[in-house]
Amino acid sequence: MKEKDRLYYSKEFPVLDDADVIVVGAGPSGIAASICASRLGKKVYLIEATGCLGGLGTTGLVPGFAPMGDGFNFLADGVAREIVERLKKYNYANFNYDDLAEMRWIPYNPEYLKLVYDELVTENNIEVRLFTKLIDVIVEDNKIKYVVLSGNSSTYALKGKIFIDCTGDATLSYLAGVPCEVGDEKGNTQAPTLCSIFANVDWEKYRNFLRETGQGGSLVKTLKKAIDDGVFSVPDLHLPGAFLNGKYIAGMNVGHLYETNCLDDVQLTRAMINGRKLVQEFLYFYRNYVPGFENAELVVTAPILGVRETRRIVGKYILTAEDFLARRSFPDEIGRYNYPIDIHRSTPSEEDYKAFEEEFFKMYRYKEGESYGIPYRSLVPVNIKNLLVAGRCISTDRKMQGSTRVMPCCFITGQAVGTAAGLCIDNNVIPEELNTEILRETLRKFGAYIPSK
């Protein structure tokens, strides 16, 4: 946005509390971070701008967890296991296998996922503040001293010892002065999606159609026909597809909103408006081209955009696509993960889609049992001493972010920084000075998958 003028003002804010750990952003990484810090006896605040916990998995209606295992090992073990097993116990998740190490997606109903998150933060005595937005950061001597928050009742500050950025957009880091990178060398980022929920779906009929046509959930042949018939205002061959979220309910991860910088309020607004129109196009497509969806009804579109990429912090180590290809291990790794590098393109061109297929299905995909390590240093920014970062905005190159951005990896990095924050306070050290062997051993006690060799 262009500036018309500049306004300078000063104002006093009340400091409402002094916490050990302040976590900003309550998606998967923020939930895992706050739980682990609290379990180490720390007073934790969890700040969330929306009205529920869970981020894109709940508010954003993203309909399933990416694979959590490598075929042999449950890589996202720890907090994520508690969440998924509780979903299964309550019959809130739609999967019929017991081994969470399998390389499969786990669909769930987002309403029930909200309830599980509510239970966990309540049981762990975390001070949650919903409808609360971070608006500023006070930094002194390369340390964050306060975060300034805006809630429904007032604008106020919280003081903390260790701060954790789980905003996805690296908002806390950016406001504190951490250097960040955005997108590719031209600033292009992955196209976002506005997710939605359809009802009245005949899943058995749909599955039979997929088996008979052999095209999978991406519906490539059917989608091409609809594009040729002029169904879509923007021809887009990339279709993540429908997920089973209930007996007759489908979580829809469909469509891309191209040419959207998700750090720009004007473009975000335009994308939300266009996204609701695009969902109507997909409703028509599924009703008229996809057996099992003939009577589908649109129930809801998400109140926030399904953002895949914005800022990445510059940390003590930048995890790269070369590390992915090397299946690299690190002495300070706090977990391992294996999701393919999944970069949704910035344009709808057929050339870009073919490049996606080459990367996602061939070039950057592991066999069973393979994984890469995530070093603790990638969660530690270069210049702010009492800040840790988890989730989509950790320190990676652009390609590697296409793997680390998904929810299971956010759980992995979140529980690492929450544990690290508690240990830093216990040992009176800043994050970059923390003994990573103590961190790794503590994470193992919390159930994290960290091989000894």
DSSP sequence for 277-309? HHHHHHHHHHHHHSTT-TT-EEEEE-SS-B---
Question: What is the three-class DSSP state of 389?
Answer: strand
Cα separation, 420 vs 315, in Å, equals 15
Quick: pLDDT tens for 102-120: 889 999 999 999 999 999 9
Average pLDDT score over residue span 5-10: 88
Closest CA to 197 of 289, 64, 13: 64
Distance CA 278, CA 298 (A): 12
Beta strands 249-253; 143-150: pairing state: unpaired
Strands 127-129 and 44-47: parallel
User: 25-56, pLDDT tens digit by residue?
Assistant: 999 999 999 999 999 999 999 999 999 999 99
Work out the percent of the chain whose per-residue pLDDT is above 70: 98
> How far apart are the C-alpha atoms of 336 and 52, rounded to whole Å?
29
Evaluate if residue 126 carries a pLDDT over 80: yes
Position 243 confidence tier, pLDDT thresholds 50, 70, 90: very high
What gap in Å lies between CA 336 and CA 420, rounded to an integer?
A: 17
Cα gap 67→255, rounded to integer Å: 22
pLDDT exceeds cutoff 70 at 99 = yes
At 94 the pLDDT is 67
pLDDT above 90: residue 333: yes
b/e sequence 370-400, b meaning 16+ C-beta within 10 Å: ebbbbbbbbbbbeebbbbbbbbbbbbbbbbb
C-alpha distances (whole Å) from 93 to each of 11, 61, 123, 169, 399 are 47, 14, 21, 28, 31
CA dihedral angle for residue 328, residue 330, residue 336, residue 338, rounded to 10 degrees = -10
Of 92, 105, 352, the closest CA to residue 234 belongs to 352
**Which residues in 200-278 belong to E strands, given as ranges?**
241-246, 249-253
What is d(CA 299, CA 132) in angstroms, rounded to the nearest whole number? 27
Side-chain half-sphere of 387: how many Cα atoms within 13 Å?
37
Instruction: State the pLDDT at residue 306.
Output: 98
Average pLDDT over every residue of 379-396: 98
- Give residue 171's pLDDT: 98
Please tell me the distance from the alpha carbon of residue 121 to that of residue 106, in angstroms, as a whole number. Answer: 22
pLDDT reading at 185 higher than 70? yes
Which pLDDT value is given to residue 145? 98
Is it the case that residue 2 has pLDDT exceeding 90?
no
